Amino acid sequence: MYNNASYRQYSVSGVNPPFSFSPVGSTMRRQPAITAWMEATVNQIEPDPGNDGIWFMGYKVTNPSPGVYHYSTLSTTRTSIGRSNLSGCL
């Protein structure tokens, strides 16, 4: 159901442009990139398994200082015809 979704991790170096990008590891095929967000909780919902798209919702809550909370969210969808949509606030 993931169709052609794939991702690859990159290392970024440099302080000011131009930045350098170097691949790290191999391409993870047939998996959406949200599954690589190890520190987050990622939920997968399939309204009609095998017939409709898949929705992924990832979130992470941190407490950088007393009384302050930081919320990171990311949402992505995959349709049964291979289209994707990504939105979030990191």
* 72 strand-pairing partners: 60
Q: Who wins on pLDDT, 77 or 44?
A: 44
pLDDT of res. 60: 93
Residues in the chain: 90
pLDDT of res. 46: 85
pLDDT of res. 11: 94
* 12 strand-pairing partners: 21
Mean pLDDT score, 40-62: 86
In the chain, the number of structural domains is 1
In a domain, 1, yes or no: no
C-alpha distances in Å from residue 26, one per residue of 4, 10, 22: 16, 10, 12
**CB 59, CB 13: distance < 8 Å:** no
Alpha-carbon 41 to chain mean position? 11
pLDDT digits (tens, 9 = 90+) for 12-28: 999 888 999 999 999 98
Which tokens hold the place of 38? 């190890």
Which tokens hold the place of 13? 């170096």
What's the pTM value of the predicted model, to 2 decimals? 0.63
Which tokens hold the place of 87? 């939105």
Task: Please state, in angstroms and rounded to a whole number, the distance separating the CA atoms of residues 54 and 31.
Answer: 12
Q: State the residue range of the domain holding 35.
A: 6-89
